Amino acid sequence: MSRLFQPLTIRGTTFAHRTWVSPMCQYSCDPVEAPGVPNDWHLVHLGSFATGGAALVLTEAAAVVPEGRISPQDAGLWNDEQAGAWRRIVDFLHGQGAAAGVQLAHAGRKASTHRPWDERSGSVPVAEGGWPTVGPSAVAFGSYAEPAALDEAGTAGVVRAFADAARRADEAGFDVVEVHAAHGYLLHQFLSPLSNRRTDRYGGDLAGRSRLLLEVVDAVRAVWPQDKPLFVRLSTTDWVEGGWDVDDSVALSRELAAHGVDLVDASSGGNVPDAPIPVGPGYQVPPAGRIKRETGILVGAVGMLLEPAQAEQVLVSGDADAVFLARALLADPRWVQRAAVALHEHGTLAWPPQYVRATRQQVPLVRPRG
């Protein structure tokens, strides 16, 4: 059996294989009639990956408070209406044999922005449906609006909001919670000395800058069932001198493991505009491998993993325990089924019975579900 198609058990959850769906923001909620509520677009978008054979489908970043949304059109999990809408999607994913995960997030100083395809970029004015933003310090991200520095009451509110969202995630039936501490959003902003210039206990050295994330993890782990996995997404480096780097990520990953985190989802960048990121196939795999080898925590690799053989090699080489796919799945929601054929595992991956007829001439060993 290929490594890619071996099952993986974490706590009480067994994933059928190790090809997982990375969070991908869709900016598709109705900000007026149903702010933060996932809708039919999210059902079809996420459901297509489950029918395509993914073992774990992670949602886009779900904001834990309204002001934590990246854009007014972002999804959330700060109220029960949103939890009920997510439940419908979770039930469909489970019906296709996929595990369901939710990424919990707060965008911090990168909140209240226009969608990527809107004519304008940057911050949405308050008069047009935007809101004031917050961060560890009053330091703007590029040309975005300057955030207000969170006081200690504000940091405590962030911790409570993540815990409340995790409780709702359990009620909605999710199998996995991932805390988003990457891509220049609030928890990453606290980690990086480039955005965190505080002099109180949430700033300064690595321990101070890591404090808020560890408090969030502890609060989430306290309400998240012990038999369910907890992931954290990290940007392993800011890609600029003086910023957060891989050494920091290794040290933090040891702490995360001690605080009950089961897997580090190793991404990079996002906290510095126009950082010189050497984007290319597998460019984020080496930091993932370092974290895995030097800490022993489970690691997921992500970033331009485009072909089945490439993804297989990441696991065979010991650089990661699972792979997260994003753009490859947008281009081909049946990437996983294609990978099963390419790696001679087509007899182990069940297709929906509605689609089996499409495989009979090419894949004689496909078995239907059910």
* Chain segment 102-120, per-residue pLDDT in tens: 999 999 999 999 999 999 9
pLDDT of residue 347: 74
Which carries the bigger pLDDT value, residue 362 or residue 336? 336
The reply to whether 166 falls in a domain is yes
The reply to whether 5 falls in a domain is no
Tell me, what amino acid is at 305? L
List, by residue number, the catalytic residues. Answer: 185
Residue 370: pLDDT over 60:
no
DSSP 127-188: GGT----EESSS--STTSPPPEEP-HHHHHHHHHHHHHHHHHHHHTT-SEEEEEE-TTSHHH
Pairwise CA distance, residues 145 & 213, whole Å: 24
Number of domains within the chain: 1
Residue 244: pLDDT over 70:
yes
Summarize the confidence of residues 192-213 as an average pLDDT: 98
Strand partners, 10: 13
Q: Which of 222, 248, 221 is nearest to 235 (CA)?
A: 248
Summarize the confidence of residues 29-41 as an average pLDDT: 98
pTM of the model: 0.95
pLDDT of residue 365: 45
Pairwise CA distance, residues 147 & 53, whole Å: 42
**300 with 324: CB under 8 angstroms?**
yes
- Confidence label for 350 from pLDDT (cuts 50, 70 and 90): confident
pLDDT of residue 345: 87
pLDDT of residue 359: 73
Provide the mean pLDDT of the chain. Answer: 95
The reply to whether 38 falls in a domain is yes
The reply to whether 345 falls in a domain is no
Structural domain of residue 321, as residue ranges? 20-325
* Chain segment 251-288, per-residue pLDDT in tens: 999 999 999 999 999 999 999 999 999 999 999 999 99
The reply to whether 258 falls in a domain is yes
Summarize the confidence of residues 166-191 as an average pLDDT: 98
**74 with 116: CB under 8 angstroms?**
no
The reply to whether 367 falls in a domain is no
Q: Which of 42, 7, 9, 4 is nearest to 23 (CA)?
A: 42
* Chain segment 73-103, per-residue pLDDT in tens: 999 999 999 999 999 999 999 999 999 999 9
Weakest mean pLDDT among 109-118, 160-169, 218-227, 353-362: 353-362
| Three-state secondary structure call for residue 125 | coil
Query: Which CATH number do you get for residue 295?
Result: 3.20.20.70
The reply to whether 84 falls in a domain is yes
Pairwise CA distance, residues 249 & 9, whole Å: 24
| Three-state secondary structure call for residue 222 | helix
Percent of the chain having pLDDT more than 70? 97
The reply to whether 365 falls in a domain is no
Summarize the confidence of residues 11-34 as an average pLDDT: 97
pLDDT of residue 364: 44
pLDDT of residue 96: 96
Residue 362: pLDDT over 90:
no
Instruction: Report residue 149 as tokens.
Output: 């520095």
pLDDT of residue 322: 98
Percent of the chain having pLDDT more than 90? 92
